[in-house]
Amino acid sequence: MQDEMPIRKIIHVDMDAFYASVEQLDNPELRGKAIAVGGSSARGVVSAASYEARKFGVRSAMSGAVARKLCPQLIFVKTNFDRYKEVSKQIRTIFFEYTDLVEPLSLDEAYLDVTENKKGNPSATMIATEIRKKIKEKTGLNASAGISMNKFVAKIASDINKPNGQKTIGPEDVVPFLETLDVKKFYGVGKVTKEKMYRLGIFTGMDLKGKSIEFLEENFGKSGGFYYNVVRGIHNSKVKPSRTQKSLAAEHTFSENISSEIFMLERLEEIAAEVEKRLHKSKLAGKTVTLKIKYRDFTLQTRSKTLPLFIASKELILDVVKELLFQEKMKESVRLLGISISNLNNETPKKKQVPKESIDVQLKLEF
């Protein structure tokens, strides 16, 4: 069946140090300097680090305190999601000049299927070069790209010549490339899985290929089948346009029902930290905070508040959650608490209900 799949041309575009580069673009005094976006508050986390800061080991998702220790001259800059979103939109407009099959992964990353493209250009490599050039012209920012026959390999490839570079891995090169690749570079293999693979003697794609599907499923569950296939160049996941996440949440079920708000607050702090972590991972922020309360009798209550700006930090989320928590007395003891963030910064503003064409028609009829 595999042979019947037409070979696809997939580009993964990834902006270089996106938030930090936008800040350096907008504030010339920050250029060439070690900067961190976010992380300035007492327990804040770095959202992005400039390449100058990365030389000191500063990374995103690192606590601001640790980052400051690694790089004392580090300049902390506040996040400005509205601005990042604006740039992200400019970039997507460029993508749509080539194809409608665009799947954003975050504000600064997307997969494009250019197998059939609007320019009729048979070379995905040339398209990637053009797109990166246009992004630079339009936004002043650098992007990197990976080009291959599936999303999995394209994603890995975009990292190879980063920053400001691209890498094509053609159909014949996919399997040899994966065979020599360290499994830690496989997309989807996190720290824990990497360690487990190493323990099992799986260090490279070649080692992975030597294992049976039964062995891999036994050790890695459902992902085992995924690893078995991708290392053979098989990854049929389509580029899914308009995959927009609507909300992001975390919750905690108590082993015993609780009724003390102070105790709830402690748990909510942990849940908010988890939400912050997930927002970071998806590079998202949101305007609406919802507190979910499930009581002992299983009735569910939600309380929410919408803010005028996007937030992503644990502290700000918790501020709103506290307000919602003390807004009214609990009905009875609580068995589950959850926090969700919606109105995310990945949503394009809602279009008016009536499409432009029909407005034109209406006007014509009326006049």
Can you tell me the distance from the alpha carbon of 20 to that of 16, in angstroms, rounded to the nearest whole number? 9
Q: Which stretch binds Mg ion (CB under 5 A): 17-25, 85-93, 216-224, 291-299?
A: 17-25
Known catalytic residue at 109: yes
The residue length of the chain stands at 367
CB of 108 to Mg ion, least distance (A): 4
Q: Is 15 a residue that touches Mg ion (CB under 5 A)?
A: yes
**Which of 23, 52, 103, 108: binder of Mg ion (CB under 5 A)?**
108
Q: Which of helix, strand or coil describes residue 153? A: helix
Which residues are within 8 A (CB) of 180 and not within 5 positions of it... i.e. 6 or more apart? Answer: 204, 205, 206
Can you tell me the distance from the alpha carbon of 268 to that of 320, in angstroms, rounded to the nearest whole number? 11
* Candidates 109, 274, 276, 347; catalytic one: 109
CB of 14 to Mg ion, least distance (A): 4
**Which of 12, 13, 14, 64: binder of Mg ion (CB under 5 A)?**
14
Can you tell me the distance from the alpha carbon of 127 to that of 95, in angstroms, rounded to the nearest whole number? 10
CA angle (177 as vertex; 173, 179 as ends), nearest 5: 125
Cβ closer to Mg ion: 105 or 265?
Answer: 105
Number of residues that bind Mg ion (CB under 5 A): 4
Cβ closer to Mg ion: 20 or 248?
Answer: 20
Structure tokens at 203: 């260090």
Structure tokens at 349: 């503003």
Whether the Cβ atoms of residue 104 and residue 92 lie closer than 8 Å to each other = yes
Q: State the DSSP string of 294-314.
A: EETT--EEEEEEEEEEEE--H
Q: Which stretch binds Mg ion (CB under 5 A): 107-115, 131-139, 167-175, 202-210?
A: 107-115
Q: Is the dihedral of CA 270, 271, 274, 280 positive or negative?
A: negative
Residue 159 has a CB neighbour count (10 Å cut-off) of 15
CB of 182 to Mg ion, least distance (A): 21
Cβ closer to Mg ion: 51 or 254?
Answer: 51
Site string for Mg ion, 305-344 (x = CB under 5 A): ----------------------------------------
CB of 234 to Mg ion, least distance (A): 26
CB of 109 to Mg ion, least distance (A): 6
Q: Is 52 a residue that touches Mg ion (CB under 5 A)?
A: no
Chain residues binding Mg ion by CB under 5 A are 14-15, 18, 108
Residues taking part in catalysis: 109
